[in-house]
A and B are shown apart, each in its own frame.
Chain A
């Protein structure tokens, strides 16, 4: 019988070791499917054996050994089948195996300093892979999510997700994408690519792009976990620390972001007592050590903005001038209309509503924001603050027609009602940080 203690050990081992087992098997066999299958079998075996034999002292080593033995068995069988077919005069199948027994030293102990998961992470996030495939494969092979789970998280049929995973793995093999940590001259660029994938994963969980569920916290947790692993493997990289800090600071607000009826609660109206202090503390600490390295990057600036909110005891205490300045710096590094829109909000909140509206007006001609509901929602909010209720109502209507999910629609409707009845609306603002969540990614063709 599985006792709660054994169950906890199994759960922990799965979370901590899945990626490592898969990563090691891929390095040693070069076969992604084999690696996943054998890792799965090792965990099944653990489920059977650990309740009887007890939890091994080093669960990770135990799992890697069991998975490795399974892989050897399978490769031996394939080699034997190939040999038999060969003798029968057929073309050999199960190619890639030498006639000598290659399995002897396949799993001989090695002194690997480098964590195999780092290789796996860089390979899954290779820029020559389709972006959706990078995210899916990272979740499958590193986080151990099943195809069905990933499909649910991205609201696509399981068969579609299975195809996406197969196609991504096929490209790695066919196009010769190396299984390695990139050399020094490629490392900064490729690390940024890994962070982009983790942040996309986080945002997919943080702000559902469609449907009624605003928070798919599981994806956020996975992204943070992988971010932590990356930070441990590449210690001292300020952008890695900052990306993790940014995710933690956003995630600290998850319980305060959505009301009892699933409605969106803006940053300004959130009950700050419900923010997760532990996450905030960890995020702030990481950000501080990142900033000490004095190599400013986009994740550090975004985390610094999130930190301004996290430090403010109440909405009115927010240092909007500081935030506006940080957005100006961020715009210098990531020239993007969404970053500029956020700057408009910060400028307005710092006291100059007209200047904020002027930036919004400038952005109206930008084709990239044509379908972006937050442009009109921001305009509406600033107009309302200026007391121009009729113009605000019209802008809310335009924003409504572009809102991506039910949660945002409900939020906008309630605002529209307030300006319609002239009721004294509580102070609101389109939360500037959350507005730019999907922005910091390489352009997806």
Chain B
């Protein structure tokens, strides 16, 4: 099964945490990539750099900043391919990052789509264009537009179009918040809990990574995403050196 493991944070990591992660992360990545359980992972830029895109009555509404103003936010993610949730938990629990940050493990609902640019993106090679994360936000009941076949067909068409133009990297719909599992370290002990780590009424319903010339182009791509009409798409760049 394919999973996304979102990394949560409340801001800049403490210097000593950063030192541990920098020291130990390469070995963890090498081991997990070697086992084939980790596909790739990237860090995001801070939420201030985000834009939120909605389309109402044919008009595109763009607001600066992230969709949800929460103390904790998503700082990045790893994409996993594991036999089951226990393996995904084990992979995340052995990561040096999980000693300092909570993780939320969510299954991809219909598998993970990956286009040709995915491996370059995973290596941090952004020479073909700037990658942006489009986060599909939904609210209200979990019976979301993504359960609607017509919307799913539109979503497929949107992705095929983006892919044809060389802009699509990876993504797909996620299992709902009911399928999420959060890992946190408390008093040195790993604890699991049911549900997402960001406790808001709205929830992340899916992710797409696209490659664009600039922010404006990413916003335009988000505005064409069918979910922008139903709820909102958050556009956020990835962290780069």
Question: Which A residues form the contact surface with B (CB < 8 A)?
Answer: 126-131, 133, 167, 170-171, 174-178, 182, 186, 442-443, 445
Contacts and interface: CB of A to CB of B under 8 A. Distances in A.
Contact of A175 (B179, B186, B191): B179
B83 A178 contact: yes
Quick one: which of B82, B86, B88 has the most chain A CB within 10 A? B86
A175 to B, nearest CB: 5
Given A128-B85, A128-B192, A129-B194, A176 B1 contact: yes
Contacts of A170: 178-179
A182 B86 contact: yes
Contact of B194 (A128, A176, A182, A186): A128
Q: Is the interface of A mostly helix, strand, loop or mixed?
A: loop
B84 A176 contact: yes
B83 A443 contact: no
Contacts of B83: 176, 178
Interface in B103-139: 105, 107, 109
B37 to A, nearest CB: 13
A177 B84 contact: yes
Given A128-B181, A167-B178, A170-B178, A175 B85 contact: yes
Contacts of A182: 86
Nearest to A335: B187
A174 B107 contact: yes
Interface string B77-114: 00000111110110000000000000001010100000
Task: Give the most central of B179, B181, B186, B192: most A CB within 10 Å.
Answer: B179
A170 B178 CA distance: 8
A186 B85 CA distance: 13
B179 A442 contact: no
A127 B192 contact: yes
Given A128-B181, A167-B178, A171-B179, A445 B85 contact: no
A95 to B, nearest CB: 12
Contacts of A443: 186, 191
B18 to A, nearest CB: 27
A167 B107 CA distance: 15
A394 B179 CA distance: 48
A177 B1 CA distance: 11
B145 interface: no
B148 to A, nearest CB: 15
A36 B3 CA distance: 29
Contacts of B181: 128, 175
Nearest to A182: B86
A178 B195 CA distance: 18
Contacts of A177: 84-86
A175 B1 CA distance: 9
A46 to B, nearest CB: 35
Nearest to B174: A174
B65 interface: no
23 contacts: A126-B85, A128-B85, A128-B89, A128-B192, A128-B194, A131-B194, A170-B178, A171-B179, A171-B194, A174-B175, A174-B178, A174-B179, A175-B179, A176-B1, A176-B83, A176-B88, A176-B107, A178-B83, A178-B85, A178-B86, A186-B86, A443-B191, A445-B193
